[in-house]
Amino acid sequence: MIRVVTTKDAKQIVDIYNYYVLNSIVTLDLVPFSVLDFEEKIQTISNDFPFIVFEEGSEILGYAYANTFRTKPAYKNTVELTIYIKHSEIGKQIGKKLYSELLRLLKNLNYHVVIGGLTLPNEASVKLHENFGFEKVAHFKEVGYKFDKWHDVGFWQLTF
């Protein structure tokens, strides 16, 4: 089931995210987050943007949200997307279901452009974005440093 996030989801969401902080370059965050950090993030983001979770039983298997792309007023119709799937659930089409719903919500809210920023390489996320019609529009080389290595970041864009 896909539903709107609540702050009660923070513990499960932070567990999903912190796995990637500690074990992956998917996020370039270096320090794990607390439950309180994610409660605040959920409150702040969900006040202004769609923030949804994929739940099976009472277990959250993934989440996705839109957020501010840039703070200048001229960017108000553009958002940046975030999606994370519980690492043990990758390959089960949860990302596709979450993105389908999130993009539907954003289109209904009259957003014009959605951006996905990806640490590279990340074949699964590139495939997810391109399957929804996103096009690669930027590639920044060696802009993030994690696990004693430089990493590239790419940006994919979808215009409604």
pLDDT band at 81 (very low <50, low <70, confident <90, very high): very high
- Of residues 109, 111, 92, 91, the one with CA closest to residue 160: 111
Domain assignment of residue 142, given as a range: 2-159
CA distance 100 to 85: 14
pTM for this predicted structure: 0.96
What CATH number is attached to the domain comprising 80?
3.40.630.30
Task: State the pLDDT at residue 131.
Answer: 96
CA distance 24 to 31: 12
Q: Which long-range contacts (CB under 8 A, 24 or more apart) does 150-154 make?
A: 151/25, 151/28, 151/119, 151/120, 152/119, 152/120, 152/121, 153/28, 153/117, 153/118, 153/119, 153/120, 154/117, 154/118, 154/120, 154/126
% pLDDT > 90, the chain: 100
What confidence tens digit (pLDDT) does each residue in 43-79 have?
Answer: 999 999 999 999 999 999 999 999 999 999 999 999 9
Q: How many domains are contained in the chain?
A: 1
Task: State the pLDDT at residue 155.
Answer: 98
Task: State the pLDDT at residue 108.
Answer: 98
What confidence tens digit (pLDDT) does each residue in 97-132 have?
Answer: 999 999 999 999 999 999 999 999 999 999 999 999
**98 in Cβ contact with 54 (< 8 Å):** yes
